[in-house]
Amino acid sequence: MSRFYITTPIYYINAEPHLGHAYTTMVADAVARAHRLMGDDVYFLTGTDEHGQKVERAAQKAGVSVRAFADRISQRFRDMLPLLNISNDDFIRTTEPRHYAACQELWRRVRDRGFIYKDKYQGWYCTVDEVFVPETQLEAGRCPLCGNAVEQIAEESYFFRLSAFGQPLIEHYRRHPDFVEPSVRRNEMLAFLEGGLEDLSVSRTSFTWGIPVPDDPAHVMYVWFDALTNYMTAVGWGAGEPTASQQFARFWPADVHLIGKEIVRQHAIYWPAFLMAADMPLPRHIMSHGWWLMDGAKMSKSRGNVVRPDDYVEKFGLDAVRYFVFREMVFGQDASFGDEAVLGRYSADLANDLGNLASRVTTMVHRYCGGVVPSPDPTAEGPAERELRSALDVLVASVKSSLMAFQLSVALRAIWDVIGATNRYIVAKEPWKLAKDGGQRADLEATLYAAADALRVIAELVAPFMPDTSSRMLGMLGVAAHHTAWTTLRAGTLAAGTKFGAIDALFPRIELSVEELRRMSEDTNRPTPTAGPPTGSPQPMGSPQSPAVPEPAARAAAGAAAPDGERPLLSIDDFMKVELRVAKVLTAERVPKSTRLLKLFVDTGVDQRTIVAGIAEAAKLMGVESNGMVLAASPDGGKPLLVGFDEPPPPGTRIR
């Protein structure tokens, strides 16, 4: 049995949990569940990071002791787990005695190998991100990571010889090209490494809320040295007990550290350097996802743009929320949380597609076969049944490989393609007509068996994403006792004679306006809007800080000012400001609730992004953010034709 150890970041307790925290945890949960279905021995860790000056100040502001503050906020994160149906094996707090012992053991090991020394630190510190910021990295006097003000500090400090590990880390990146993913983050870290590393201050004396440095209790450990060590603490490092040592030997190094993109440097440079200094194995993969954006900016309490997942769970159900975030965010990229998109996904994908398929299949088996899976006559199987069975077997392999690569949205697109194919198969076969003709009984049973078997495979494959829905579907099919191991999952194996359970309405239609849903996501403490978010915050086209998409009348007026025959000439300098590149369309799907828009997922050679085709310029329409435009021609105002090439160049090629 293979083992698989996956971690989320431990969440900093200076604020309440929100969708950003929930997303990371749900992704880890889905991947952990998939590995269990593959037969792996899984250890799934999450928890809270509770030390540091920021926590100390937050407690002071709240008028409570730091310990009481830590206990209260940590419990909020722990309470989030059952709400989201998270299957974690451990929940670690950095204030636990086991973690103190582990951190001090790692410190001694690094110190005794000559990589920690005492000196004086004078420079800049960001309390928000708990990082030291060299003068050369300041951006307009602010933290380059979060854009907040930094503080000048001067104090005695222990330093870690980070400068000694620049070249070893570069070599590790080259030997292990998948060490940091996606590649854009890997390239950022390599560029940072190639710029040279400076030694890192790893202790503080100006506050006391932290883990004391061994043999020098006037110092507490730098919060990142403390926090990162949790990944080893949880599997037995520093415990000194035989069973803990066995667990550590089994599960370390971690297979995946799953994190948000804002903490890649700490995980991909500091952490492996600490481990190299201690002569410890490095984690195998560091997977970084993008941000959920609201109003064009990363969700944060200070901006008042936080989405509370419990509000949406209450209205739509947990599995609908899980489905939405997995389907909407392409792993590694940012995604916008849009109320229209939530409603669209629920109505189109869940209620209409999956819910309708489950209802019609189970209803017809109950109606025409007495609620018992028929035993199909092999001679009644035709090309349509063989094609559906083949598509299901291809789907099983596709979903497994996509989940192993953290491509959750790709896996769900593939599942929904087969859901659509199964619905089309039923419509084409018209079992309700076959049931009226006694001479077509064999064809009817072959049809219903194929449809029920497809529903079973789909139910098994949605289990990591929507575990409760999967169980309910299997219950409807009469196979709820256990999940089929994915190593043996294949089409055509639903046992004839299986008695179906009761029909269950998986996703009842919800009567809810977009305005009502939007009010749910508004933070009651939203501050008065300022001139805009801090410099560097991503802004979608059409946001209040950027030009909106013109109304049709305005576009018409603009066009009327310059008829075709009188358009001014464009200089070559102006033309070169427009960047046209070749892109490969990877997937295309209709935008829910729209009859004129297509959502394209394209490879530009540099990144992969979403583009909504059918609009004039970049915009956010029907809850989908479009990050580009497609070049097309419409002869005489007729059907648009995409511009193509006789010999397609690779994605990313510049058009000149």
Write the secondary structure of 413-478 as one string of H (helix), E (strand) and C (coil).
HHHHHHHHHHHHHHHHHCHHHHCCCHHHHHHHHHHHHHHHHHHHHHHHHCCCCCHHHHHHHHHHCC
Mean pLDDT (whole number) for 527-537: 31
Q: Which stretch of DSSP H or E encloses residue 143?
A: none
Cα separation, 397 vs 390, in Å, equals 11
> pLDDT at residue 539 above 50?
no
Residue 336 has φ and ψ, to the nearest 5°, of -95, 135
- pLDDT more than 70, % of the chain: 82
- What is the number of other CB atoms lying within 10 angstroms of the CB of residue 549? 17
Instruction: Concatenate the DSSP letters of all residues of 362-424 into one string.
Output: HHHHHHHHTTB-----GGG--HHHHHHHHHHHHHHHHHHHHHHTT-HHHHHHHHHHHHHHHHH
Name the nearest CA neighbour of 452 among 481, 422, 429, 472: 422
The two tokens of residue 11 are 């969440």
Mean pLDDT (whole number) for 211-226: 96
Least confident of 162-166, 337-341, 537-541: 537-541
Cα separation, 350 vs 355, in Å, equals 6
Q: Which residues contact 260 (CB under 8 A, 6 or more apart)?
A: 9, 20, 24, 288, 289, 290, 291
pLDDT score, position 100: 97
pLDDT score, position 448: 98
pLDDT score, position 442: 96
Mean pLDDT (whole number) for 326-354: 92
> pLDDT at residue 549 above 50?
no
> pLDDT at residue 538 above 50?
no
Name the nearest CA neighbour of 413 among 509, 331, 292: 331
Which residues face 288 on adjacent strands?
Answer: 259
Least confident of 44-53, 59-68, 512-521: 512-521
pLDDT score, position 543: 27
Residue labelled with tokens 């582990």: 102
Cα separation, 116 vs 219, in Å, equals 13
> pLDDT at residue 10 above 80?
yes
Residue 545's pLDDT band (cuts 50, 70, 90): very low
pLDDT score, position 569: 54
> pLDDT at residue 546 above 50?
no
Helix axis angle, 356-369 relative to 408-429, nearest 10°?
40
Residue 653's pLDDT band (cuts 50, 70, 90): low
Winning range, highest mean pLDDT, from 279-283, 289-293, 650-654: 279-283
Instruction: Give the residue with greater pLDDT, 135 vs 225.
Output: 225
Instruction: Concatenate the DSSP letters of all residues of 512-555 into one string.
Output: --HHHHHHHHS-TTPPPP-S-SPTT----TTSTTSPPPPPHHHH
Residue labelled with tokens 């792993």: 331
Task: Decide the pairing of beta strands 203-204 and 212-213.
Answer: unpaired
pLDDT score, position 190: 98
Name the nearest CA neighbour of 199 among 266, 116, 138, 272: 116
Query: Cis before residue 253, ω within 30 degrees of 0?
Result: yes
Instruction: Give the residue with greater pLDDT, 582 vs 104.
Output: 104
Are 163 and 210 a contacting pair, CB within 8 Å? no
Cα separation, 54 vs 209, in Å, equals 10
Instruction: Concatenate the DSSP letters of all residues of 266-333 into one string.
Output: IIIIIHHHHHHHTT-PPPSEEEEE--EEETTEE--TTTT----HHHHHHHH-HHHHHHHHHHHSPTTS
Name the nearest CA neighbour of 103 among 221, 21, 218, 265: 221
Residue 646's pLDDT band (cuts 50, 70, 90): low
CA 266 to chain centre: 19
> pLDDT at residue 467 above 80?
yes
Cα separation, 426 vs 388, in Å, equals 11
pLDDT score, position 509: 87
Residue 13's pLDDT band (cuts 50, 70, 90): very high
The two tokens of residue 450 are 């194929």
Least confident of 244-253, 485-494, 568-577: 568-577
- Report the amino acid identity of residue 352: N
> pLDDT at residue 559 above 80?
no
- What is the number of other CB atoms lying within 10 angstroms of the CB of residue 284? 14
Name the nearest CA neighbour of 479 among 491, 494, 464, 463: 494
Domains of the chain: 337-527 (1.10.730.10), 568-655 (2.40.50.140)
Are 534 and 295 a contacting pair, CB within 8 Å? no
pLDDT score, position 529: 33
**What are the C-alpha distances in Å from 189 to residues 193, 197, 323, 430?**
6, 11, 31, 57
| Helix-strand-coil split of the chain, %, nearest 5 | 45, 15, 40
Cα separation, 198 vs 480, in Å, equals 57
Cα separation, 367 vs 208, in Å, equals 70
Residue labelled with tokens 């007990």: 241
CA torsion angle 534 537 542 543 (round to 10) = -40
Residue 400's pLDDT band (cuts 50, 70, 90): very high
pLDDT score, position 103: 98
pLDDT score, position 145: 78
pLDDT score, position 557: 34
pLDDT score, position 544: 28
Name the nearest CA neighbour of 96 among 74, 122, 115, 128: 74
- Taking only the tens place, the pLDDT of each residue in 589-624 is 877 766 667 888 776 654 566 888 765 445 555 556
Mean pLDDT (whole number) for 374-394: 95
pLDDT score, position 612: 80
The two tokens of residue 257 are 């550290």
Are 165 and 121 a contacting pair, CB within 8 Å? no
pLDDT score, position 554: 33
> pLDDT at residue 567 above 60?
no
The 3-state DSSP class for residue 208 equals: coil
Cα separation, 577 vs 587, in Å, equals 29
Residue labelled with tokens 């648009």: 640
CA 238 to chain centre: 32
Are 611 and 629 a contacting pair, CB within 8 Å? yes
Winning range, highest mean pLDDT, from 139-143, 480-484, 630-634: 139-143
- Taking only the tens place, the pLDDT of each residue in 490-510 is 999 999 999 999 999 999 988
pLDDT score, position 562: 38
- pLDDT more than 90, % of the chain: 63
Are 78 and 91 a contacting pair, CB within 8 Å? yes
> pLDDT at residue 629 above 90?
no
Q: Which stretch of DSSP H or E encloses residue 55?
A: helix 53-62
